Structure 1
């Protein structure tokens, strides 16, 4: 059965996108990462938030445009209440978390459903559907933007460390929600 993974590169101060969803900061931190580079082969589908789907790609206009530096090819499900009028090749639009997650898990088979987007990841966590979290910490402070995790009013989500490793330029943290 598919596991649900939330993966993101984060600034040291906790942001996965800068103000207005700006992702340009990420480009200089996308160097080879031996502990993570093989992850794409373990992903069977994507569950993507609408803000992420319509957002800024640090590789736009290059041969590395798209998820995982253009390496991703496979089923992607976008969670949105406002699907585009025209179909978008390679993307299925779903209106609720449970049906989107079910479709993504079915498409992923025994591989990961990789969540892209902070809001969708929070929804998965709240629904008890998030199995693992991979945070790649980049050595930069953004000061503002989209947080890795945000819960108005606060909360205390306990996590267990699965592993930690370092590449020459980032720190990789694998975690799982404590159950």
Structure 2
């Protein structure tokens, strides 16, 4: 059954890049000199070092490791992708004529554009009707495989807020960035006393990163545990 999945590399304090770059860069080299890049490359170091990631990008080298197996597993599971326009704009030139996705990609945007066909099975379809429509189209194109939310963080939050996400995998790098774009914040659309419940289903620890996979159970009311207000409980705790 097709699942909508997402995976994101984050620091221990929840950042997936450094502080947001407000400049309108025309190419990747400008972004690389900005404030986002150092944090981004630190939290994704584990993937860049992995052989499976490098092979998919058309690069040589890399380590054959558990991290590499997880990268390969992630690529193999995806039958279609959904991504934000900002991520597409940043990646269009560096990805070149044969991007790493090798599957249909649906780009959520306010700026229409003709479908962009690339070598290796990748196509980019620009969806102006919102994230729900992009996920719907990706499901139809996925051929029974997963729909992967490719990023960035803002789009992932939109998918989660819309109740469309089935599985989330966080790759937690052992670093504190202190400042940066945090994956989760107040824009999830949660009401007062409400949360999104997740169930951890897999934890894989490697020297450079901890991979935690969650099933997303959806929104639920938070229950106030007021047992501490009981004088009897306080008294018994002191015995």
Normalising by structure 2, what TM-score?
Answer: 0.63
Aligned to 2:214: 175
Whether the aligned pair in 1 keeps the contact of 2:43 and 2:172 (CA below 8 Å) is no
Whether the aligned pair in 2 keeps the contact of 1:164 and 1:173 (CA below 8 Å) is yes
Q: CA deviation at 1:42?
A: 0.9
Q: CA deviation at 1:35?
A: 4.9
Whole-Å Cα distance in 1 between the matches of residues 138 and 110 of structure 2? 17
Aligned to 2:200: 161
Q: CA deviation at 1:99?
A: 1.5
Call closer, same or farther: CA 1:79–1:161 in 2, change over 3 Å: same
Q: CA deviation at 1:27?
A: 5.3
Call closer, same or farther: CA 1:88–1:8 in 2, change over 3 Å: same
Computed over aligned residues only, the root mean square deviation of the Cα atoms, in angstroms, reads 2.5
Aligned to 2:109: 80
1:47 has 2:82 as partner: yes
Q: CA deviation at 1:160?
A: 0.9
Deviations 1:5-60 (A, max 9, x none): 01111111101122224333345332330551322011011100122222379xx8
Aligned to 1:5: 5
Whether the aligned pair in 1 keeps the contact of 2:8 and 2:169 (CA below 8 Å) is yes
Call closer, same or farther: CA 1:53–1:151 in 2, change over 3 Å: farther
Aligned pair count reads 170
1:130 has 2:165 as partner: yes
Call closer, same or farther: CA 1:55–1:17 in 2, change over 3 Å: farther
Call closer, same or farther: CA 1:14–1:100 in 2, change over 3 Å: same
Aligned to 2:15: 15
Aligned to 2:176: 141
Larger deviation, residues 43-52 vs 88-97: 88-97
Larger deviation, residues 103-112 vs 143-152: 143-152
Call closer, same or farther: CA 1:141–1:76 in 2, change over 3 Å: same
Normalising by structure 1, what TM-score?
Answer: 0.81
Give the structure with higher Rg (CA). Answer: 2
What are the ranges of 5 or more consecutive residues in structure 1 without an aligned counterpart?
Answer: none
Whether the aligned pair in 2 keeps the contact of 1:2 and 1:112 (CA below 8 Å) is yes
Q: Which has the higher contact order (CA 8 A, sep 6+)?
A: 1
